[in-house]
Structure 1
């Protein structure tokens, strides 16, 4: 039986050799020799320090190099370790084949392959690891003959040295020399070359990290072969044996994992790299030292915030001038699977809260507004597609009339919605898209006026880029990840996103600690020893909070929250994200202790500082009790400002304190000072005890318009007709009330009014005529008037 097996094997072998011989004239497929997708790519920081190595098609590290870039010792050691007759045979070594055939026939199985270097190259490029069967072996032999016929010996040897497995996910001698000896392949010594040449035959067994002594034994056998064959003399042989080899420890830890993940995904497949797989090195803009500092800050601050259920944070630091990414921390710990650490907060789409307000006000300033304009911070309702929109401030209080400067710096919600209402949600939406916040990809009607308060979703990276554009006084630039990208530091684009004057005013407002005191108090986490234009944001339900800061040098953007959108426990932007931002700036400016230590912006041409009335924001008159300085974008902006219309004098009939007409005797007329406020300021003014002008003319002057003015209509401003209120079963019924407010004409400011619900009086009030009603289920008529219902609305409580 055994003899019949031997005979059958010989017959099959002969038949297959004959069939293969007929194929040797077919050209070898040259495209298989391409290094495309073989070479791994090294990513380094801006100083050349390694961040990561992206594996090639072999799922290992590989760096293709030319044969001239490989030490002659390595070339010789490889040939004598693998294929001593490489330079003379035609792709297949007949002597080795004969020896192997005898061993295989004797053992009735493949026990020896007799593979030449050329055959191994053919096997690697034709399909890698395959079963050691006779048909496969014969196919490799045919391919090897065709390869030898088509390519030079040097080209084939180069292919082998760039593809051979050297263990530990290393393919090719360049990757092996770098990992094991931290040097290029051209600098390998004879001893090092012999050690590496012995690895490919059994990479896992001859692994220097796993069994260094075994690797040394194989090395000595390779050196002995070279000595016996006269490749090296006695002296070289002894020096190689005596050389003390030091294998460098394993390397390859991923630095800045989120950043490198994004970079590799953005660049797409790294497969079209040329004949020798270049570029093999990507120089990024990241600063590894800063990256480590920022990552440490994130971990430290999140430990402090754990009690507020803040589990994650992300930070991106840009060079303001160039838009280069200097640091990118996507989570607390990329490798924390339980905490979803591989999620990247720099790229996640989350609601930014108030962090969009500077751009809303930027559009307002470019539409003719000024930083001195006064905006109403009173209870307000706005029409919306699904009813009415009722914004509230973060602190659930109202601050009366506030300047644009204070409204933005203190991040007040109601004034921002008023501004958006004036501009139109569509115009605001288009401006945000132009700034690169393209994840706001629904139409403007989807967001409505809530767009100003961040009810859309943006990415931290895009938000940082928009603020960096503000820091370049309106110039847009794409975020830079690598040094291979075109530098734009000195190439300003033609079109600004915002004018230099508007950008400067916004930066000035956002760095004004006094102006932000209404919302954050003085010396909050946003205040540093030097100027930083800073803005926070908190999304609805405390699911996200943000802080962004800008100087001429750096832009720092921070997000804090939880990847699963679990609400934080009362942590806002100023208490959650802002301390992280503050710590990062201190790392960026470790020696700065005063404003003079950090550069700030010079006012662009056309920006002028002027004095305005502190209350009206208009040109001050002699009656204005206090003034303040404000910056304006040019003389025209100041020239168009009206004289103060609030602090005024009126002619009063001294006999009754009413308005004196032109026919009043001079002896009874006196000019008196009053605060003449807009109608929607009246409630605020009366609450604060301001003296408002009378609304009736003195009948003693003969020009009294009669009782018609006193009959002027009342208008209920809250609730609105058709409003529906929903009782919360989790709260006490006594705490669920609705405010009742009415707009009263100036002629009736001295009235006493009564509020009615379903015809029954619930409150009698003087100016400012506000009351509260405890909600009760059902449909109700809410009215108000002087002793009777003069105005009413119908509401529903569910």
Structure 2
């Protein structure tokens, strides 16, 4: 028996033509091998071979030594299958060898009979070798002077296919293959050997194994193969290229009938068939379907290429179970027989394609035959990061252009990252900024020595406005000034934390979206907002199985990267664009009941437009632009195109389709909080009060005369409006009064003197002294100790202040600036906000 192999260099199997390189005399050396394998241990080689052979016992020892290192047949390479999230819809098959492995029981009995009949009819009777077959083949080969007939068993052929070296045709290699065949028979049952062989054999057209061949040539499972079909496949094993029914149907038909004749000859009692049944089968045509060889799969969607690349690169370390290196992981994918269940929802994918193909989204051809305008759409589960949709262009099956992981200028759709960074620094949404366009003279924004010239989308200057309106109407001039207060480097840090993986330069132009990001990253960043500041890394593989064994199951990789109140506040601002701002015309009618947040974006010169938005459950980013080099979209449509012109309607059509069945879920309420007054309180109590106002206390120790652990100052000051989770810095006394120098306040007004002395935390006692002249009234006439004296903080200073001819009849306290309750010793407990120091003032009668 001779088994042919594919022309591919990647699978180490025998070629179609197998002519040994040694002389006919070398063939005689196989005789003792055959004798030993047959168990004729008492026989010594006859005189024709004396002097060029060895005793059978000696030979038996050598055979045992040659196979000593054998442990098992290596795993047979098997194709992997990539599925949609239902685990049933096949998206693609990945393989070097297109092979599906089946247990022997799932291969039809007639297929097993046909293969055994033509290849090794005595398989279940003989051992690893069939001496009679080998001797017949040897005689024929000696007569021909070369190998013209094989006498191998199925076990020997399995060894050649799995353990052999097709480039080594030496006698030593043949000797070792015989030894290995003997070890295989010791290690495995006959059924297992036959199963491995039927799954291993090459059957032409990059098809391996009887199961894959049944699907490829007849579109039936291996368990349903008929007698003529089984005979055709069995006949191809010897020379699959010669008997290829697609190219040589006549040769394949004749070979099939040879197999049937052999089965008739064996008869039904010896693994064959009756003459009547065989004759009927011989009369039948090949019976190949019209679409023979066609795999019933659509062209794989983009997510298949994305999954393969993710497994290769493994940027998050999720796929290390497939191998430590990219080469190992690629091999596992191509040969490991994996079932990879993705997160892609096929219904959502169709909805995305339908939305992109709407008549109003049609992209006219460019008059100069430039690349066509196209679409990129990515949709994520807002609470896990699972990728539900990846539409990479309208015709990915045709042009294979990646529009979802390549970078494009996001325009104003980048502004939510600037807002997030601003709110993290305590800038309020009610802050007022100028909307006047023009040159921004800040040196941080210089490019090639030129200042940054900012224009609004409408090309006109606008007045001052808060961040609510600036976001709704996408006013570039406001955000250009905002990023100066925030700092570009802080915007970069926030964007990366929220999911932008592209390396971003810390430049002012981030505020207007002039630095490229991908639709996938944009969806990932907006997912952080949709889930209240929790970022979940996007993932496309739900689980990986081999057979029934689950090798890997993805768990959402999520962490809080933006405080929830800040995310809620950004969400509150992103309500503006869809209700009264740039995209309001799209959603004012026909939208539905789901609350949404979103932002339009238009790149410089209107070359690319965006709409990214979300509900609490689903996040979607849509990009529209020209493939390759960006061209103004007005060249395609004949008028200026913005985010609300095309991208937002595509987003709307897609989301209306996929949100059906989702419950209406509201976004959490957003708001500001009032900073409470905690000056003078013990630190533990102050922290409790601050946290009760949904703020975060941060303490720093300062020298102070107050008891250790007492709050001396706070920032922001009491009564200030703040964003929840904002930090309130508390200066806490260490109980050690610092030395301060008294300012000279003689000649100052009492108010000015109180301010200067209160700033260094000293107690002030005022003594009134009548004066004759009104210009001395309210003026400090003297002080004790005098100005320039060094005293401890908390010391007392007496001020003599002039008053008119009618002094007050009784002492009355005068706070500076805000006294607290007195302590009975002329010292009032001061209070106040911000960094205002404690000031203690009392009045005494001289």
Cα separation, 2, equivalents of 1:477 and 1:573: 36
**1:471-523: CA deviations, max 9, x gaps?**
2222221223122178789x795x42334443344334334357653xx3751
Asked whether the equivalents of residues 583 and 600 of structure 2 are also in contact (C-alpha less than 8 Å), the reply is: no
Aligned with residue 585 of structure 2, among 523, 531, 535 = 523
Cα separation, 1, equivalents of 2:379 and 2:229: 43
How far has the Cα of 1:377 moved from its partner? 0.9
**1:169-195: CA deviations, max 9, x gaps?**
221123223434555434545554334
**Cα 1:224–1:15 shift into 2, 3 Å:** closer
- The answer to whether structure 1 residue 421 and structure 2 residue 484 are counterparts is yes
Partner of 1:714: none
Asked whether the equivalents of residues 79 and 86 of structure 1 are also in contact (C-alpha less than 8 Å), the reply is: yes
CA RMSD of aligned residues (A): 4.2
- The answer to whether structure 1 residue 98 and structure 2 residue 135 are counterparts is yes
Cα separation, 2, equivalents of 1:116 and 1:145: 11
Partner of 1:255: 299
**1:600-646: CA deviations, max 9, x gaps?**
54242564899xxxxxxxxxxxxxxxxxxxxxx9999997459xxxx
The SS at the match of 1:415 is helix
The SS at the match of 1:556 is strand
How far has the Cα of 1:432 moved from its partner? 0.9
Partner of 1:535: 599
Cα separation, 2, equivalents of 1:408 and 1:487: 40
How far has the Cα of 1:369 moved from its partner? 3.6
- The answer to whether structure 1 residue 326 and structure 2 residue 385 are counterparts is no
Aligned with residue 41 of structure 1, among 52, 76, 80 = 80
Partner of 1:582: 649
Cα separation, 2, equivalents of 1:317 and 1:31: 49
How far has the Cα of 1:421 moved from its partner? 1.4
How far has the Cα of 1:12 moved from its partner? 2.1
Cα separation, 2, equivalents of 1:601 and 1:364: 27
**1:510-562: CA deviations, max 9, x gaps?**
34357653xx3751489762354232333345554332221234322223334
**Cα 1:453–1:591 shift into 2, 3 Å:** closer
The SS at the match of 2:465 is strand
Partner of 1:159: 196
Cα separation, 1, equivalents of 2:602 and 2:69: 61
TM-score by length of 2: 0.61
Cα separation, 1, equivalents of 2:401 and 2:522: 18
Cα separation, 2, equivalents of 1:373 and 1:574: 31
Partner of 1:670: none
Aligned with residue 25 of structure 2, among 4, 11, 28 = 11
Asked whether the equivalents of residues 353 and 539 of structure 1 are also in contact (C-alpha less than 8 Å), the reply is: yes
Cα separation, 2, equivalents of 1:524 and 1:149: 74
Partner of 2:402: 344
**1:586-605: CA deviations, max 9, x gaps?**
2442499xxx9975542425
Aligned with residue 414 of structure 2, among 353, 356, 359 = 356
Partner of 1:456: 515
**Cα 1:34–1:581 shift into 2, 3 Å:** farther
**Cα 1:586–1:69 shift into 2, 3 Å:** same
**1:129-170: CA deviations, max 9, x gaps?**
559887776664454345445544333322211211122322
**Cα 1:403–1:303 shift into 2, 3 Å:** same
**1:19-44: CA deviations, max 9, x gaps?**
997455322654772226x1110111
Stretch moving more, 203-212 or 421-430 = 203-212
**Cα 1:29–1:158 shift into 2, 3 Å:** farther
**Cα 1:422–1:138 shift into 2, 3 Å:** same
**Cα 1:161–1:573 shift into 2, 3 Å:** farther
> Matches of residues 271-670 of structure 1 in structure 2 within 5 Å?
280-295=338-353, 297-298=355-356, 301=361, 303-304=363-364, 306=366, 310-334=372-396, 336=398, 341-379=399-437, 380-384=440-444, 386=446, 387=449, 388-440=451-503, 446-484=505-543, 493=558, 495-513=559-577, 517=581, 520=582, 522-524=584-586, 529-530=591-592, 531-570=595-634, 575=642, 579-590=646-657, 600-604=664-668, 607=671, 640-641=720-721
Partner of 2:730: none
Cα separation, 2, equivalents of 1:370 and 1:69: 69
Partner of 1:694: none
Stretch moving more, 381-390 or 524-533 = 524-533
Asked whether the equivalents of residues 314 and 345 of structure 1 are also in contact (C-alpha less than 8 Å), the reply is: yes
**Cα 1:146–1:476 shift into 2, 3 Å:** same
Cα separation, 2, equivalents of 1:487 and 1:280: 13
> Matches of residues 124-143 of structure 1 in structure 2 within 5 Å?
124-126=161-163, 140-141=177-178, 143=180
Cα separation, 2, equivalents of 1:498 and 1:214: 70
> Matches of residues 781-792 of structure 1 in structure 2 within 5 Å?
none
Consecutive unaligned residues in structure 1, runs of 5 or more: 1-5, 611-632, 643-798
Structure 1 or 2, whichever has the larger Rg, is: 2
Aligned with residue 144 of structure 1, among 181, 184, 188 = 181
Asked whether the equivalents of residues 519 and 623 of structure 2 are also in contact (C-alpha less than 8 Å), the reply is: yes
**Cα 1:160–1:488 shift into 2, 3 Å:** closer
How far has the Cα of 1:414 moved from its partner? 1.8
How many residues of Structure 1 are paired with residues of Structure 2 in the alignment? 594
TM-score by length of 1: 0.65
**Cα 1:313–1:271 shift into 2, 3 Å:** closer
**Cα 1:303–1:557 shift into 2, 3 Å:** same
Asked whether the equivalents of residues 79 and 336 of structure 2 are also in contact (C-alpha less than 8 Å), the reply is: no
The SS at the match of 2:541 is coil
Cα separation, 2, equivalents of 1:606 and 1:239: 81
**Cα 1:256–1:504 shift into 2, 3 Å:** farther
Cα separation, 1, equivalents of 2:510 and 2:173: 66
Aligned with residue 175 of structure 1, among 212, 224, 231 = 212
Asked whether the equivalents of residues 473 and 577 of structure 2 are also in contact (C-alpha less than 8 Å), the reply is: no
Cα separation, 2, equivalents of 1:295 and 1:521: 22
Aligned with residue 73 of structure 1, among 105, 110, 133 = 110
**1:329-365: CA deviations, max 9, x gaps?**
22343454xxxx3342212133323222112212323
Cα separation, 2, equivalents of 1:423 and 1:198: 76
Partner of 2:238: 201
Cα separation, 2, equivalents of 1:270 and 1:573: 47
**Cα 1:64–1:590 shift into 2, 3 Å:** closer
Partner of 1:654: none
Asked whether the equivalents of residues 302 and 310 of structure 1 are also in contact (C-alpha less than 8 Å), the reply is: no
Cα separation, 2, equivalents of 1:415 and 1:161: 72
Cα separation, 2, equivalents of 1:576 and 1:97: 77
**Cα 1:201–1:582 shift into 2, 3 Å:** farther
How far has the Cα of 1:52 moved from its partner? 0.7
Cα separation, 2, equivalents of 1:124 and 1:559: 51
Partner of 1:64: 101
Stretch moving more, 165-174 or 214-223 = 214-223
The SS at the match of 1:547 is strand
**Cα 1:488–1:128 shift into 2, 3 Å:** closer
The SS at the match of 1:484 is strand
Consecutive unaligned residues in structure 2, runs of 5 or more: 1-19, 34-52, 313-327, 545-551, 675-691, 696-715, 723-846
**1:222-270: CA deviations, max 9, x gaps?**
3443343232554875786799966574216453342111212222345
Partner of 1:265: 309
Cα separation, 2, equivalents of 1:35 and 1:514: 57
The SS at the match of 1:198 is helix
Asked whether the equivalents of residues 364 and 423 of structure 1 are also in contact (C-alpha less than 8 Å), the reply is: yes
Asked whether the equivalents of residues 377 and 415 of structure 1 are also in contact (C-alpha less than 8 Å), the reply is: yes
